[in-house]
Amino acid sequence: MTAAPLLYATGLEVVFPGRRGAPPARAVDGVDLTVGAGEIVALVGESGCGKSTLARALLGLVRPTAGEVGFGGRPLGRTARALKAYRRRAQLVLQDPSGALNPRHTVYEAVAEGPRIHGGARDEGAAVAEALARAGLRPPERFFARYPYELSGGQRQRVVIAGALALEPELLVADEPVASLDASVRGEILALLLRLRDELGLSALVVTHDLGLAWNIADRVAVMYLGRIVECGPAEQVLTAPRHPYTRALLSVLPESASPAVVLTGEPPDPSRIPGGCRFHARCQILASGDADRAGVAGRCRSEDPIVLRGTGAACHWA
Ligand code: ADP
Ligand code: MG
């Protein structure tokens, strides 16, 4: 990682107004995060914890209610022109079943769309062919006239990635890129992201609810709970020596886990009702078991919000 991160967020918040008198939803509630040049960071956490909202805010697709996002050493501009220029350098990769591909567009049209919007591939056909080849669809010309329904799930996901690559971005933000693919295909797509990092120096933020996937791909892992990053560090450290009880619980339910599965009790998290104290305390197995009490921190767990995590570590009184 270089000294200055490619992408950074500081104190980032995205609060959605509550509908019909309901309290506002603090989907992203104070996040500091960086992605370095040529680095793959996995953003993990249960469904609903705010991963997609954070990803969209990092891309300038959702306007943060507080905090700052910067890229290449400077805060994002807020003009339409600045955001358009930014969206060329940082590309969102959605999973295909969520409608990333238009069923009526050929592969060629799907991949050429970005360069057309941004005006100015020197040679459109060459740019499309190169992007398809980089995404592992070879020979690329064979795919030009195909429609999504003629392709396998893995091939469709490669077309989505090629569409992003056609703009020659510096960063990919991939939101659950393999969630709906079979295990074998999943591995191929992850290998593709690793290859793009190694060959093109491409950075990526890979959003996933699957910690096992993070293990296969990430240089660094950020664990998100109820709008906050609760643990962050090198993948090896977070996944083999997790410090936050929430990370431990997530890891304990993976099939390859050696420790007994921790079943989280309490209410599923709701960003319109964030508990006081540590936001995880009502579900925390360390607090429930008495370990936090024995360590003399239980009172703080219930009353004091752990500091916002900057860089490596765990936002937890006990850890
Ligand atoms: P994840 O990607 O981790 O599953 P999301 O970022 O999609 O989580 O959602 C986080 C929370 O924000 C959820 O409680 C969701 O209901 C809420 N949310 C997301 N988008 C909106 C929106 N446009 N308006 C109101 N609430 C939203
Ligand atoms: Mg999501």
Q: 99: pLDDT confidence band, cut at 50, 70 and 90?
A: confident
Q: 24: pLDDT confidence band, cut at 50, 70 and 90?
A: very high
Asked whether residue 169 is assigned to any structural domain, the reply reads no
Share of the chain above pLDDT 90, in %: 77
Give the domain extent around 288.
242-314
pLDDT at 57 over 80: yes
- The amino acid present at 138, given as its one-letter code, is R
The answer to whether residues 190 and 157 touch, using CB atoms and an 8 Å cutoff, is no
Asked whether residue 171 is assigned to any structural domain, the reply reads no
Asked whether residue 272 is assigned to any structural domain, the reply reads yes
pLDDT in tens, 154-211: 999 999 999 999 999 999 999 988 888 888 888 889 999 999 999 999 999 999 888 8
Q: What is the pLDDT of residue 143?
A: 98
Q: 75: pLDDT confidence band, cut at 50, 70 and 90?
A: very high
Nearest-CA residue for ligand 1 atom 27 is: 16
pLDDT at 1 over 60: no
Q: What is the pLDDT of residue 3?
A: 62
The CA–CA distances, whole Å, from 158 to 111, 150, 163, 239 equal: 10, 13, 9, 28
Q: What is the pLDDT of residue 211?
A: 86
Question: Higher confidence at residue 178 or residue 55?
Answer: 55
What does the pLDDT average to over 306-315?
A: 92
* CA–centroid distance, residue 227 to ligand 1 (Å): 10
Cα angle value 96/239/68 (rounded, 5°)? 65
* Ligand 1 atom closest to residue 272's alpha carbon, by position in its atom list: 14
The answer to whether residues 229 and 32 touch, using CB atoms and an 8 Å cutoff, is yes
What does the pLDDT average to over 150-155?
A: 94
Does the beta carbon of 51 lie inside 6 Å of ligand 1?
yes
Which DSSP category does 59 fall into? T
* Ligand 1 atom closest to residue 227's alpha carbon, by position in its atom list: 10
Cα(18)–Cα(21) distance, integer angstroms: 6
Can you give the pTM of this predicted structure? Answer: 0.94
Three-state helix/strand/coil letters over 136-194: CCCCHHHHCCCCHHHCCHHHHHHHHHHHHHCCCCCEEEEECCCCCCCHHHHHHHHHHHH
The answer to whether residues 40 and 234 touch, using CB atoms and an 8 Å cutoff, is no
In the three-class reduction of DSSP (H, G, I as helix; E, B as strand; rest coil), residue 64 is classed as coil
Does the beta carbon of 44 lie inside 6 Å of ligand 1?
no
What does the pLDDT average to over 292-305?
A: 96
Asked whether residue 148 is assigned to any structural domain, the reply reads no
Q: 121: pLDDT confidence band, cut at 50, 70 and 90?
A: low
Q: 235: pLDDT confidence band, cut at 50, 70 and 90?
A: very high
Asked whether residue 189 is assigned to any structural domain, the reply reads no
Asked whether residue 263 is assigned to any structural domain, the reply reads yes
Asked whether residue 274 is assigned to any structural domain, the reply reads yes
Asked whether residue 127 is assigned to any structural domain, the reply reads no
Provide the number of structural domains found in the chain. Answer: 1
* Ligand 1 atom closest to residue 175's alpha carbon, by position in its atom list: 2
